Amino acid sequence: MTDFEIREIRPEDAEQTLEYLKKVGAETDNLSFGAEGLPVTPEQEREYLQKTLDSEKSIMLGAWKDGEMIADASLNGFSKRMAHRAELGISVLKAQWGRGVGSALMEGLIGFASERGIEILHLEVRSDNERAIRLYEKFGFKRIGTFPAYIKIGDEYKDVIIMVLDLRETE
Q: What is the topology classification, in CATH, of domain 5-170?
A: Aminopeptidase (3.40.630)
Decide if 129 contacts 27 (C-beta within 8 A).
no
DSSP 70-114: EEEEEEEE--GGGTTEEEEEEEE-GGGTTTTHHHHHHHHHHHHHH
- Measure the CA–CA gap between 135 and 67, rounded to whole angstroms: 25
Task: Identify the band that residue 18 occupies on the pLDDT scale cut at 50, 70 and 90.
Answer: very high
Q: How many CB atoms lie within 10 A of CB 43?
A: 10
pTM: 0.92
- What pLDDT shows up at residue 32? 83
- What pLDDT shows up at residue 171? 56
